[in-house]
Amino acid sequence: MRKAAPKLLLLFASPLLFFGLLEGILYLTGRFEPLSVVRQVNHKGKMFWTAEPRYGRFVLQRDNAPPPFHMWMPVERTPGRLRVVMLGESAAGGFPLDEYNLGRMTRVLWDERFPGEPMEMATVAMVGINSHILRVFAREAMQLKPDVVVLYIGHNEVIGPYGPVSKFAGALPSENLAQLSLWVRNTRTGRAIESGLENAARLTRSAGQNSSWIGLDEFGNSRIPADDPSLDRMLGQTRGNLRAIIRTALDHGSKVLVCVPAVNLTDWPPPASAAGTEEISARAAYAKARELEAAGRREEAWKYYRRACDLDLLRLRADSRVRQLQRDLVAEFNTPDVAMVDADFWMHEWNPVFRSDADYFLEHVHLTFEGRVAVTSLIVDGIAELTGRSPQLGVGRGDYSGIDDWWRSLPQRNEHARTALLFTEYDEGRMWGSIEKLLGMHVFDGLSDRDERRAAAKKRSEVLQATAHEQLDQERIRSAYAEALKWNSDEWVDHSAAQLWSFAENGREFWQALEAAHGKYPFFRLAHYQMASRATRQKSYEEALEHVRALEGMRDSEDIVPMLYGEIYWASGKPAQAIPFLERHASHLPKDYVRWFNLGMACQLAGRPADAAKAYRRALDADPENVMVRGALAKLLIDQDRPTRPDLLEALKLSREMLVQQPDNLDARLVLAVALLANGQTAEAQSTFDALVARATELKNPSAISKAQKSFQEARAKFQQ
């Protein structure tokens, strides 16, 4: 046995030694550096904490995965300011409009209530994650040295990484193994291995880890019944993760406020359901709840609304057990440094002015502006009690005696938030426009009233946009911007003002606001996009490229970046360099004919007629009635050095179709005349040309005649040799 011990030690030590050697070698190369969720950057001589944009791709294993939400906090603490970190998923991050995230709204409402003790807030959140990832977020967020950590989490425990139906990282037996997995993957060796696998997947065109992020459609087939044993394991892991998050915060001297998340109960028919009675069927339970509510028995209906949520097979909402374990954990810690506000019950059973969840939710979990104000007002009250800035009255809990007054004063808080955040009809219209697109995803195919909801969201967006056009004159924008700055001078106010000035077509004040936003926060997508476009127009191509490089990895920039690169290289006379970027841009939205048309022109200028023809044909697939694309393809086929007979026949067909569509289009007549010449139909070509000249003479358009004569003579020389 003694002789075997060294062998066993060597057996276990060898892999560790090999791993350590690999890490050392990779460290010396400087490659595959581990990623942090938060990182420090220098801006105008001052250090700030910001989010690492590549972390989303690492966690969700998709090339264009969304990065963590906006975060910008000075490294150095400001005396007299309360520092808070909010941890969460997309609901906390403000989806679909990041600028109205729960952290920022909490800060604005806090500063209005406690102007002498302003708040510093960092929202550390990301789409698609759950407590396994938030546990990492919490550890790294301790570098910010927060006084308070707020948790608004729980919706993605089933579908997120290491969840029972995860599409990213599969379920593991324990939460600690998930943490080990994340740690190993984020070593230099782990990142090198994943990089190799990604490259292999690309070469083999595999739909592996690096397929494109498709939003909620990632979870379209993720169905799991309420009695599935994997949910019990998930609950145990969630409990372990949340306990670790709270313990981490306490160990670093931070207080913790748990906000039990609210979900849409009354205005969300379950998209996926088993058949049967209300005991096993989500849809039957929801129908029962609606029936009871219609009969004036809302108190009885709540039970069935909650059961419908719990039985929903498409688990995109925190169910009752996930929410209850949060309440239980707060009680388990039993310390004044850990508190809870219950947005779930607060917005439903305890809400004396409740009408419908349609007031508070855009869809299943993401909040309307009023819903965000309600949740963040509750969080403000919770932080105030937790930090001793207000008496311990029990706000956010069932025994709070002032709940009637609280809800009746919500409209005033809502108005203040709109003013301080510069939230207008334009923003609300954008919000509902995003929801209309979201509801079009396949994940919601089972939603019984999906078409009606989409139509209503579209109509609401259009009405709000029309109202903005009518009411947002330049004086109102100027006044609203100035009023917002009195309460809130953060970078988002300038960013919102820039959008409004763009909307109002005021270029001077647009650039002033945009440059103010960029000066406060150097990672604004809109600022870099607009500045890159302006530099391109001014032929300052290197400056334009700098702005585009800054956009790489930013949230929602995966489509903008290739477009801008394509535009810059095109404008600078380098169509061959523009082509790969225009290809990416076109493939991202293949039904947009303009993208394919631009690619076709670049290929044509780069001397690649076959590729140009393919791109023009894709443009015609996207817009079969487009005369401009038809003409470009017809001329390309004719102008080739050695056009084939099928090419010339196709050009003739295209040119005839052009003239049918637009009989008075002089360019269409010219293309047809040249196509007829190319196909040997000289007499008809001459007749078509003569008709063109007569029409141009009638219209007094000598330049069209000169152009036609030149093109016709060149075609005659080429095809009648």
The DSSP-derived string for 6-33 is HHHHHHHHHHHHHHHHHHHHHHHHT-SP
Q: What are the C-alpha distances in Å from 667 to residues 241, 290, 388, 703, 711?
A: 67, 62, 77, 12, 11
Query: CA 456: distance to chain centroid?
Result: 22
DSSP summary character for residue 669? H
- CATH tag for 630-721 (out of 1.25.40.10, 3.30.160.100, 3.40.1360.10, 1.10.10.10): 1.25.40.10
Quote the CA–CA distance of 616 and 634 in Å, as a whole number. 10
Quote the CA–CA distance of 70 and 38 in Å, as a whole number. 11
Quote the CA–CA distance of 285 and 273 in Å, as a whole number. 10
8 A C-beta contact, residue 326 and residue 317: no
Residue type present at position 236:
G
Enumerate the H helices of 30-130 as residue ranges: 55-60, 90-93, 102-113
Neighbours of 551 (CB within 10 A): 22
| Tokens describing residue 406 | 């609280």
The end-to-end CA distance of the chain, in Å, is 97
The pLDDT score that the predictor gives to residue 18 is 64
**Range(s) of the chain covered by CATH 3.40.50.1110:** 38-267+318-404
Contacts of 108 (CB under 8 A, 6+ apart): 417, 420, 421, 487, 488
Beta bridge partners of 289: none
Quote the strand ranges of 205-362, DSSP E: 255-260, 338-342
Task: Give DSSP secondary structure letters for 519-562.
Answer: HH-TT-HHHHHHHHHHHHHTT-HHHHHHHHHHHTTSTT-TTHHH
Q: What are the C-alpha distances in Å from 185 to residues 58, 128, 179, 319?
A: 9, 18, 10, 30
Task: Give DSSP secondary structure letters for 597-650.
Answer: HHHHHHHHHTT-HHHHHHHHHHHHHH-TT-HHHHHHHHHHHHHSSS--HHHHHH
Quote the CA–CA distance of 122 and 72 in Å, as a whole number. 7
Architecture of the 38-267+318-404 domain:
3-Layer(aba) Sandwich (3.40)
Closest CA to 61 of 167, 216, 157, 205: 167
The pLDDT score that the predictor gives to residue 206 is 45
The four Cα atoms 180, 181, 187, 190 give a dihedral, to 10 degrees, of 150
**What is the phi-psi region of residue 44: left when phi exceeds 0, alpha when psi lies from -120 to 50, beta otherwise?**
left
**Range(s) of the chain covered by CATH 1.25.40.10:** 630-721
Indicate the length of the chain as a whole number. 721
Q: Consecutive sets of 10 residues in the chain, 721 residues long: mean pLDDT of each?
A: 55 62 72 90 92 90 85 92 97 95 98 95 95 97 98 96 89 93 89 77 51 78 91 97 98 98 98 94 97 97 98 96 97 97 97 96 98 98 96 89 94 97 96 95 94 97 94 93 95 94 89 93 89 92 92 79 92 93 87 90 92 92 89 89 88 89 86 88 90 89 88 84 61
Contacts of 690 (CB under 8 A, 6+ apart): none
Residues 185-207 as b or e (16 or more Cβ within 10 Å = b): bbbbbbbbebeeebeeeeeeeee
Neighbours of 524 (CB within 10 A): 25
Contacts of 313 (CB under 8 A, 6+ apart): 223, 224, 225, 270, 272, 273, 274, 282
Quote the CA–CA distance of 597 and 615 in Å, as a whole number. 7
Quote the CA–CA distance of 4 and 313 in Å, as a whole number. 53
